[in-house]
Structure 1
């Protein structure tokens, strides 16, 4: 990734030692702080791996051995990123650079758990990966696997309720039709699962309390289709983070609907990353440019329908587009005059397509409180009901994959060893 703080540019090199070396070039007086930081990331993540594995323990083992694992991890998870990093250095610019990818987990340093920061930083330390053919290939390959093994995938099939009797799953009701089954794995997020799909009596038995944790952040995004290829326009493969100053917390506190792209922007280039793009869509390119988007800014339009919203809503989107284009023209002036199509999404768009009630993109926010919630684990107190997805583990595709693996272990138990052996081959 590349980070801009005002007019200053910082490049993140792939590989821990490359990253360390580059940081020390930027901050020659902070070499010790940088070394301590990288050691902390490693220690937190080693303990984090054990912390997440504990989520498959049965209640008796969780209460005996699990509490010790959770206690040790609290050194990292119960502190904010700002609290931990302020003990390492007082250099505000270094702190800003270290936290510049905070958008990957949706919270600024003074609010985010250091555990989330460490996991995400560690995940990208060796560089990122992009699926050939685009992000849709993840879904396509998953569907192929399900179909090959006797499964079936239905889209636009609205689940009304998970039917529970005598504390056991009996089936699901889909658009008024009851489908009996003994097991349900919910991937719609813990809030949707327990507030939308279960009866009041079933919720009470699970003792789920979400009062102390909020939904994660929402966003506004400008999508651009360009009339030339990424190579012709000299567009990068890396992501770009822009902040107008080094105080990230203050920057996010000051963001409004009127100034969001001026304060913060995240820019990615999906077509530049995709090896098949030019073969399938020659002489074109795609850019995604987003900033913070508060759901409350759009709440007055939430009862309107997608593509049929008020003119005032459309004007808000156009204003955001113009502001974000100014940011893009400053960083990548070569795209000017080469834009074919633009579209803007808002938190209401996210709600429409993903059914997250506040337009959030990362499920529950990654605060210290999140890591202390005992019910964020695959197995619930309802027999036959399991949870998976980023709420159970951590943000993003990797977090969701980890949650799926943990959930599978609770089902397959010792048979999972054979599965892992097969995967390894």
Structure 2
């Protein structure tokens, strides 16, 4: 059933008074739209999919099961946490969160289990308990996280600076952050320890940013690990509540979200934005905010050489990795099956780099699996889905494994493609039975998504889930900023900042700052008041 706060796009709708058009309804675009709307701007959000929310949305099947597609947990939502005020602002405090408990992540290497406990000191004690001879290395690691993230916060905030300030103070910030962002995670950790198992455990959550230690920027690693240091939280009612509650706020402020609104072109004249085309319909506006990724924006939506104005060069950074996921529906409740709230990162061995570099579709479930239990995390699941439970089991996947089927229509690809998915399903079910034998005999529904599924719904051309690869090179691209050289064209989403809900929200905030300027203090004041309440 269509949510009352958004509607299908129609060329008959009056768009004559629009100030800003946001392309894409991911959390970056919704954040920017909400901040602008709270300051009296008229915003329209255009979403090509039939469900809004980007990677925060959920999908349902006739059997009554539903699963998240991207949000498995969010950090910094403890009392006074930086994300709490941001979400309260977007939802007018209507979005509720459930803590995942003392243990929010578990890294398992072979049969060895390592628990990640919420709180810096709890984390420290736990790791020292596992590695009693590595106390100094663990303390050094925590100090490196702290220093890197201090400069990382400044690095991203600098993206909202005007050119003069960027060339002066911004130069200073970028110079000092290079110490962390321009080294790989393995390079940094190898300087504080030679213990390969400790390095593997500290990097066990690397799937959150999609790259193994030898390839990832330590800056990205530090920001993601720091984000979850105080524990993980899950939105009550499922991840779709993030978008729906935000859309409610937008609607109350007089701005709207339209689905089935596939923007085909960002229309420019000279070096200025004039509006967008949706099919044959031209919608004029003062500015366009694109949340569909820099590749889609500059290589597909800008026509007639307009992208050359911006001097973008993405040749040094590849798209992030894809993933393949097994969605499982069970005929007993999470409580009956004793399913955990925490996520599991399972690795066959401690060499994560070799695992990710050499993985094939056939052996993926035998090498790596990230397992999440959304029904166990959500206290409202039983209200509408009594006596059932859900699991998501994910592994890394290269787009090239499926590229030969990319031109075949969704849900109608040939038997060879279906066989590949069936083989992955069988392999991943065996992995789940090995780790959680109590679920055997209770699997009611399964479904597999591949990078082609991601491409179909998100329009990322290589089925990537994290935008641009989080390598050191990414952090050296000066043009990854909210403002472009085309006047009125701005960018939001994880390409501009960092992977995940927090990164995308930050990008939306930065976009709003570049437009609102000093008026943005109204928003910060409201966040402060919400936190006091």
State the TM bucket, normalised to the shorter chain.
over 0.9
**Cα deviations across residues 83-131 of structure 1 (Å, max 9, x unaligned)?**
0000010000000000000000000001000000000000000001111
Aligned to 1:276: 380
Paired residue secondary structure (1:12): strand
Report what 1:21 is aligned to: 125
Task: Return the offset for 1:424.
Answer: 2.0
Residue 37 of structure 2 corresponds to none
**Counterpart position of 1:406:** 510
**Pair 1:156 & 2:272 matched:** no
Q: Deviations over 1:168-187 (max 9, x none)?
A: 11010001211111210111
Offset of residue 200 of structure 1: 4.3
**CA displacement, residues 362-402 of structure 1 (integer Å, 9 cap, x when unaligned):** 00000000001011111111111111111111000000111
**2:293 is aligned with 1:189:** yes
Query: Residue 328 of structure 2 is aligned with which of 224, 239, 254?
Result: 224
Are residue 44 (structure 1) and residue 148 (structure 2) matched?
A: yes
Partners of 2:183 and 2:317 in 1: CA distance: 15
Partner of 1:312: 416
1:64 — aligned with what? 168
Q: 1:332 aligns to what?
A: 436
Structure 1 residues 210-249: aligned runs within 5 Å? 210-249=314-353
**Dislocated runs of 4+, deviation >6 Å:** none
Query: When you count helix as a share of all residues, which structure comes out higher?
Result: 1
Q: Which residue of 2 aligns with 1:127?
A: 231
How far apart, in 2, do the equivalents of 1:330 and 1:347 lie?
26
Deviations, residues 40-62 of structure 1 (Å, cap 9, x unaligned): 00010011111111000111111
Q: 2:360 aligns with which of 256, 262, 269?
A: 256
Q: 1:384 aligns with which of 462, 484, 488?
A: 488
**1:137 corresponds to:** 241
2:133 corresponds to 1:2: no
Which runs of 5 or more structure 1 residues have no equivalent in the other structure? none
Distance, in Å, in 1 between the alignment partners of 2:232 and 2:481 is 27
User: Cα–Cα, structure 1 residues 99 and 200, in superposed 2: closer, same or farther, change >3 Å?
Assistant: farther
Please give the alpha-carbon distance, in whole angstroms, between the structure 1 residues aligned to 2:426 and 2:305.
49
- Whether 2:387 is the aligned partner of 1:287: answer no
The residue aligned with 1:109 is 213
Q: Which residue of 1 aligns with 2:451?
A: 347
Q: Distance in 2 between matches of 1:423 and 1:100?
A: 34
- State the alpha-carbon separation in 2 of the partners of residues 187 and 205 from structure 1: 19
Counterpart of 1:173 in structure 2 is 277
Distance 1:226 1:219 in 2: 22
Deviation at 1:293?
A: 1.0
User: How far 1:327 moved relative to its partner?
Assistant: 0.5
Rounded Cα–Cα distance in structure 2 between residues aligned with 1:194 and 1:146: 28
RMSD over aligned Cα atoms = 0.7
More moved, 372-381 vs 140-149: 140-149
Contact 1:243 1:264 survives alignment (8 Å): yes
Q: TM-score, normalised by structure 1?
A: 0.99
2-structure distance, mates of 1:394, 1:172: 26
What is the Cα deviation at residue 420 of structure 1? Answer: 1.2
2:154, 2:246 → 1: CA distance?
27
* SS of residue in 2 equivalent to 1:401: helix
Note if 1:368 corresponds to 2:472: yes
Count of aligned positions: 425
Matched-pair contact (CA < 8 Å) for 1:160–1:176: no
CA distance in 2, matches of 1:91, 1:183: 52
Query: What TM-score, normalized to structure 2?
Result: 0.79
Q: Taking CA–CA contacts closer than 8 Å with sequence separation of 6 or more, which of the two structures ends up with the larger relative contact order?
A: 2
SS of residue matched to 1:154: strand
Where 1:46 maps in the other structure, the secondary structure is helix
